[in-house]
Structure 1
Amino acid sequence: MKRRRNICVYCFSVLIFLTLGISFLYVVTSHYYYKNTYYDYFVKLRSESHGFKLGDYLVNTNACKIVEMNPFDPSIAVIINEATAQTCEEPLVHLVNGTLMYNDPHDIKEARCCYNEIHRVTVKDYTQWTADWTNRYSFCHLIQKQGVRVRSEFVKIQCKENGRQSRTWTDFDVTVFPPEDHSEETEVKLNYWEKESAKESFIKPPSVLILGIDSISRLHMIRSLPQTRTFLEINDFVEMKGYTKIGENTFPNMMAALGGMKLDDYPCWRTRSTKLDDCPFIWKNFSDRNYITGSVEDSASLANFNYMKTGFVRQPVDYYFRPLAVAYHGNKNREGAFRGCVGGRTQTDLVLKYIQDFVSVVKNKAPYFFWSWFTTLAHDDFNDLRVFDSVFKNNLHKFLESEGDNAVILFISDHGYRFGTFRETYLGYYEESLPFFFIRIPPSVKQRYPSWYKNLKINSERLTSPLDLHATLEDILTLSSNQKAHQSFTHYNWDPGFRPVYSFFEETPENRTCESSNIPKQYCRCGSNFLKSVQNQTLSLLIGTHMINEINGIISEKILNRTCVSLRFKKTLYIKQFAYRIAEAASVSTDYLVAVEASPSDATFEARYRIFSNGQLLVVGNISRINSYQGQSDCLNDPLLKSFCYCS
């Protein structure tokens, strides 16, 4: 009996040993496979970014030195992974040259389809505050087998399958009408240019086409869009290497670029419920000069001027894509799950086709100003951008073939990636302030204004900002009149002797600093490479506690009730000391880049701290949230407080 028990014990021990051994081997091999799979992809990515050469500095002046960082630093290999391209089903009905037609064959048998016309709500005054979210729909017109001609720019298509398991299917599509058929306003502008073009001295001013992608740094563009980047370089696009953001997220950078307004100083927009109609956006100036204007954003909910904002009460431009974006926002496909496909295309392909169609119907009739923004591409996961490399390369090729001689083309972003694991690395910190920026001026403008191109090339390695972009757009606008260039910075009375704004077409001074450019210190990357890690528990606790207390103070000052939980200091993630020292009055100070984690939200915050010789602590700029707060602050609507709040 005893011997049998010993045998059982022995067998059980062997079984445990084998189980642990197999588990260990599984963990080791899984980790090895995971590590090598992503590292192999990382190496592949690096090898495909041909033509990229690592230099010493992006900007190298006495006043500002921005170091060139390696986009393929081995420390981020584990963060880079391969995304899968989205596929879309062939639609039951498609729109061709303004006619809705059935696709034959299609996979829903004996389906009957109809379409609704989609129109933005008509606003005769400024009382309809929800206009940017409100559409009018016509009754559903039956789509005949031979097709039907539509009279509306945007349509909603509804199909129902006959049979026992009746399924419904909803889709949307768009057709771009030429200016003479689009609206009274565009017809008037068209008549103006017909008269102007009949004059012997007429020189058609260049159009402006802006293609923007949200949250993409210069280095991530190198990693993710190698084909596109090579195409741009070959075709005389100039890269503004020192282009630096001036605000935390998209909105302040767009207000500067499109409105010429300084950070957090918007006389036209005081609260989130204020309409943006009264802001001095540059497209108004172009429209006043009879340019055809247009804008498109792929996302309705995350749109630049609508995310937690009223947006526009009156339609801001001639061709306005937003009604369609609002219509397809949150739509279900035939199985009931959202796949992000519209008219058999991805949202990105749909928007690019809209832009191509716009350019096609307008280019030979009038100059235009068109602004576009892609938010859904890589906003939540920057790895997703990679699959669109050939898409943007091919579309930029089409734009260049179509409008290379007549349009100033800009391919830009607003800032780098702001949240997540990558943002918590030093490279993530560095990249966040340096979005990619390419601009190309047509040969005709280069020939007429050779100094513009010369200065553009010089400024490509100088410190620049969104405010400078606005001045550049104003310069382009002067080509449609006799107005003298570089004299149109009228939105603000800058301090005497202090000029923070320079067009890309005039040489930017070599002694330009972030301070003289209205770039806040926290976003400045001049000298940002001169950091060293600090291991000091006392300093860690001191700054970490101070930062969390600052956040709690902001919350308690702005919120009177107990909406948000008071945060507690959990740990310091890193402290990095800037290697230079700053003399202020009689004191000597040292700057640190500090990231901390708070409880109970596990929120990660980062700030630049200045510590004076007397022990005083000062936050330089603002405290930034660098990991996602999705689902944590739904109890608040204030965009400035959401990143701090952990709802109780």
Structure 2
Amino acid sequence: MGLYRWCCSRGWRQIRYISLIIIIILCVYVSLWMTLKHTGSVKQGTSQKTILRENAVLNSVLKNYSLSRDQACNHPNLDPYHPSVMKYFYDVGPLKCDENENWIEVNNGSFWIKASAKSKHEKISCDYYPIYRKDEYSFKVGDKHTFTEGVIKAPTDVIKISCQSGLFGPKYSNIHTTVAFDKTVHERVNKATYDDLYMPLNVLMFGFDSVSRNTWLRTLPKTHKYFTEVLGGILLKGYNIVGDGTPQALLPILTGQTEIELPEARRGKPGAKVVDGHPWVWKDFKKAGYMTQWGEDMCWIGTFNLRMLGFDKQPVDHFWRPYCQATQEIHRYSKPFCLGSERRHKVMMDWVKDAFQMYQNRLKFIFAFHSEYSHEDSSKLNWADDDLLGMLKFLENKNYLNNTVLILMSDHGARFHAVRESIQGKYEERMPYFSFRFPEWFPKKYPSEFKAFKENAGKLTTPFDIHETFLDMMKFEKKNTKPEKLPRGLSLFRPIPKQRTCSDADISPHWCACLGWNVTSSDDLITQKAAKSIVKFMNNLTTNFRSKCHELSLKSIKNAMVLQSNPYIARYLGSADTDGRVPKESKDAIDKSALYQITLQTTPGDGIFETTVKYMANNDKFIISAQEISRINKYGNAANCVYMDAPHLRQYCYCRTA
């Protein structure tokens, strides 16, 4: 009986405990099931589990993201080596070019046969041909000249050289570039006194296409370490793009204006003209007595040539485009990214070094922009690390940086690389690498300007600010320190208010990295309506080309985010005290509109688009702008049918003949 009573009493308690646990589990399960039923099971795009995971990633990568009252814009402090992005990068190994060394050495406006080539081959005889710019789309080859010995002064920046060893020995042929002696340019710059310049300094801006601040740290670590730790370079941690693609990044820097504000230059548009008349900042530097130099590789998709009509006249004193065009056809005879034994990126860096040697005591404005590694595959950028480091060390050891503002930069983060579809990749696109380095003596001569610059490095800055900074270097004018409305562009040599917002800087919400987004469901009713409105908007853009372009349909919603507004900005009314130290806030201030950022896929063609739309709750309408639609996967030849007639529509057009 004792054992029976013990078993019954103890067993009954255990049964009650187990039953209670089962009931609790069932309640939780039913509650979760009802929640999922209410929100809708997501069959396409984002599942509830994905939403939770993505928000967790978002919280992780934005670990130091804060909405501070002290500063209106706080950019996220993203981990360059976060697992969510590192899976998209890989070790590319060394770049191996032809083992047979190039026969010709080029330096400082001259060229000669290398001693190593002479010792390896029989008597070498060479012919060289000067190459000239004919127009924006072609070049011309000059008369033949022969040499066998000595140092030859380059007649032009670009030279074709062909050599023969003996009568029947090996041959060599290649196209080389340097900064040739130009009497006209030297006469002009030698007349300059630079007395009217506020900061008589060289400007060297060297950049890579599509490199976020974090990708630069991942792929160019040696250069970044030397630049910041040895040279004392300053990184702009609040630098934010203002538009989509390279033109929208470089035009504000080089002209102070957006493409829309400048004269029409797009192909196929009524009244379109070449871009010669744009207010290029190198024109201002040239008037101030500077030698000017500009170059970008991948000239077949040049920044001002792909969609725009390019230049009629050569825009700068030394122009890279003729070399790029002349070498285009011979790329196939060398290993990828090489010209013989030379790495193509190093040729551009040597071109920059030649400019410093050719114009040693004259001021220079130099902008070199390299794209072919980083435009589509960020990992390959690592190939340039050692050579870029070598260029910086050369300039420093030769004392050229003692009179130079050195700028290392990019236009934007990755747009087509796979990392772009990650949450962190979206932020990184909006936060490219941009940095300055000043001579060691600069802080003593310009203490207030240097102090302002260092403080501004942590604030919201834009391409418009770089343009204003260039203008201040030439002429530092007194300006109203407290204007009624902040100018769009603010010089980095003047204090930038902490309360500057993306709106003040003319950055649309689509591009503003100051904002916080939360992942939302693809089955959300507003998200679905927004996606359909976007596709309808894109179809309207191609209506006049319907005989050539398919009408697109929504295939899937890949992800969607809704803007989480800064509550302090919404509630702030002004100051409650005369000193401006105590804020006055409204508890009832509510923004009835919302911003949705949606990544969707269309059919036919499987185009992937990222778009920011504004939802107006009052009338259940969406505001959509073509400037805030980004095509984030490649379309290749699928839009060739509108290439000449409407190149601006290529991202939306899937040709019926494709």
TM-score, length-scaled by structure 2: 0.78
CA deviation string 1:406-465 (max 9, x = no partner): 111111111000114211111111111110111012233322210111111111111110
2:511 counterpart residue number: 523
> CA 1:160–1:565 in structure 2 vs 1: closer, same or farther (change >3 Å)?
farther
Q: Does residue 389 of the first structure (1) align with residue 393 of the second (2)?
A: no
1:327 counterpart residue number: 326
2:158 counterpart residue number: 154
CA deviation string 1:255-274 (max 9, x = no partner): 10010113521136465752
Partner Cα distance (1:309, 1:447) in 2: 44
Partner Cα distance (1:585, 1:634) in 2: 50
Partner Cα distance (1:258, 1:622) in 2: 22
CA deviation string 1:308-350 (max 9, x = no partner): 33321111111222211111013245xx466332363111100
- Cα displacement (A) at 1:113: 4.4
- Cα displacement (A) at 1:546: 1.8
Superposition pairs of residues 198-237 of structure 1, within 5 angstroms? 205-234=200-229, 235-237=231-233
Equivalent residue in structure 2 for 1:550, among 516, 522, 537: 537
Q: Does residue 502 of the first structure (1) align with residue 508 of the second (2)?
A: no
Is 1:59–1:462's contact at 8 Å kept on the other side of the alignment?
Answer: no
Equivalent residue in structure 2 for 1:577, among 554, 562, 566: 562
Partner Cα distance (1:159, 1:573) in 2: 57
- The letter of the residue matching 1:170 is S
Q: Does residue 626 of the first structure (1) align with residue 619 of the second (2)?
A: no
- The letter of the residue matching 2:117 is D
CA deviation string 1:46-76 (max 9, x = no partner): xxxxxxx997259954422222122222122
> CA 1:106–1:521 in structure 2 vs 1: closer, same or farther (change >3 Å)?
farther
> CA 1:91–1:323 in structure 2 vs 1: closer, same or farther (change >3 Å)?
farther
Partner Cα distance (2:218, 2:111) in 1: 41
CA deviation string 1:270-307 (max 9, x = no partner): 65752111111111111101111112222321322223
Partner Cα distance (1:153, 1:590) in 2: 54
1:356 counterpart residue number: 353
Equivalent residue in structure 1 for 2:85, among 76, 89, 105: 76
- Cα displacement (A) at 1:372: 1.0
1:48 counterpart residue number: none
* 3-state DSSP of counterpart to 1:640: helix
Partner Cα distance (2:387, 2:62) in 1: 26
- Cα displacement (A) at 1:152: 3.0
- The letter of the residue matching 1:510 is K
Q: Which moved more, 1:511-520 or 1:631-640?
A: 631-640
- Cα displacement (A) at 1:149: 5.3
* 3-state DSSP of counterpart to 1:353: helix
Superposition pairs of residues 237-256 of structure 1, within 5 angstroms? 237-256=233-252
Q: Does residue 514 of the first structure (1) align with residue 510 of the second (2)?
A: no
TM-score, length-scaled by structure 1: 0.79
Partner Cα distance (2:526, 2:455) in 1: 43
2:53 counterpart residue number: none
1:99 counterpart residue number: 111
2:370 counterpart residue number: 374
> CA 1:348–1:162 in structure 2 vs 1: closer, same or farther (change >3 Å)?
same
1:451 counterpart residue number: 448
> CA 1:176–1:485 in structure 2 vs 1: closer, same or farther (change >3 Å)?
farther
Partner Cα distance (1:231, 1:54) in 2: 27
2:621 counterpart residue number: 616
**Structure 1 runs not aligned, ≥5 long:** 1-52, 122-130, 488-494
* 3-state DSSP of counterpart to 2:75: strand
* 3-state DSSP of counterpart to 2:641: coil
1:118 counterpart residue number: 131
| Percentage of matched positions with identical amino acids | 24
Q: Which moved more, 1:599-608 or 1:66-75?
A: 66-75
- The letter of the residue matching 1:551 is M
1:23 counterpart residue number: none
CA deviation string 1:176-235 (max 9, x = no partner): 23xxx4131331221334xx79xxx99981111111111100111121122222212212
2:144 counterpart residue number: 140
2:284 counterpart residue number: 285
Equivalent residue in structure 2 for 1:56, among 53, 61, 64: 64
Is 1:92–1:106's contact at 8 Å kept on the other side of the alignment?
Answer: no
Is 2:62–2:76's contact at 8 Å kept on the other side of the alignment?
Answer: no
* 3-state DSSP of counterpart to 1:404: helix
Partner Cα distance (2:349, 2:133) in 1: 21
* 3-state DSSP of counterpart to 1:452: helix
- Cα displacement (A) at 1:77: 3.3
Q: Does residue 176 of the first structure (1) align with residue 176 of the second (2)?
A: no
Is 2:265–2:275's contact at 8 Å kept on the other side of the alignment?
Answer: yes
Q: Which of structures 1 and 2 has the bigger CA Rg?
A: 2
- Cα displacement (A) at 1:252: 1.7
> CA 1:203–1:616 in structure 2 vs 1: closer, same or farther (change >3 Å)?
closer
Is 1:118–1:154's contact at 8 Å kept on the other side of the alignment?
Answer: yes
Is 1:591–1:608's contact at 8 Å kept on the other side of the alignment?
Answer: yes
- The letter of the residue matching 1:520 is S
* 3-state DSSP of counterpart to 2:87: helix
1:645 counterpart residue number: 653
**Structure 2 runs not aligned, ≥5 long:** 1-60, 571-587
Is 2:235–2:457's contact at 8 Å kept on the other side of the alignment?
Answer: yes
Q: Does residue 186 of the first structure (1) align with residue 186 of the second (2)?
A: yes
2:95 counterpart residue number: 86
- The letter of the residue matching 2:538 is I
- Cα displacement (A) at 1:106: 8.7
> CA 1:67–1:192 in structure 2 vs 1: closer, same or farther (change >3 Å)?
closer
1:484 counterpart residue number: 477
Partner Cα distance (1:107, 1:332) in 2: 25
**Paired positions, count:** 561
Partner Cα distance (2:263, 2:307) in 1: 18
- The letter of the residue matching 1:100 is W
Is 1:572–1:596's contact at 8 Å kept on the other side of the alignment?
Answer: yes
- Cα displacement (A) at 1:617: 2.3
Over aligned residue pairs, what C-alpha RMSD do you find?
A: 3.2
Is 1:210–1:409's contact at 8 Å kept on the other side of the alignment?
Answer: yes
1:31 counterpart residue number: none
* 3-state DSSP of counterpart to 2:510: helix
Is 1:249–1:415's contact at 8 Å kept on the other side of the alignment?
Answer: yes
- Cα displacement (A) at 1:623: 1.4
> CA 1:379–1:579 in structure 2 vs 1: closer, same or farther (change >3 Å)?
same
Partner Cα distance (2:541, 2:106) in 1: 55
* 3-state DSSP of counterpart to 2:558: strand
* 3-state DSSP of counterpart to 2:639: coil
Partner Cα distance (2:622, 2:285) in 1: 47
- The letter of the residue matching 1:458 is E
Partner Cα distance (2:331, 2:267) in 1: 33
> CA 1:579–1:596 in structure 2 vs 1: closer, same or farther (change >3 Å)?
same
* 3-state DSSP of counterpart to 2:655: coil
Is 1:577–1:591's contact at 8 Å kept on the other side of the alignment?
Answer: yes
Partner Cα distance (1:225, 1:332) in 2: 25
> CA 1:389–1:288 in structure 2 vs 1: closer, same or farther (change >3 Å)?
same
* 3-state DSSP of counterpart to 2:313: coil
Is 1:342–1:350's contact at 8 Å kept on the other side of the alignment?
Answer: no
Partner Cα distance (2:648, 2:331) in 1: 32
Is 1:210–1:370's contact at 8 Å kept on the other side of the alignment?
Answer: yes
Partner Cα distance (2:371, 2:197) in 1: 39
Partner Cα distance (1:59, 1:386) in 2: 35
- Cα displacement (A) at 1:145: 6.2
Q: Which moved more, 1:105-114 or 1:510-519?
A: 105-114
Q: Which moved more, 1:105-114 or 1:149-158?
A: 105-114
- Cα displacement (A) at 1:376: 1.2
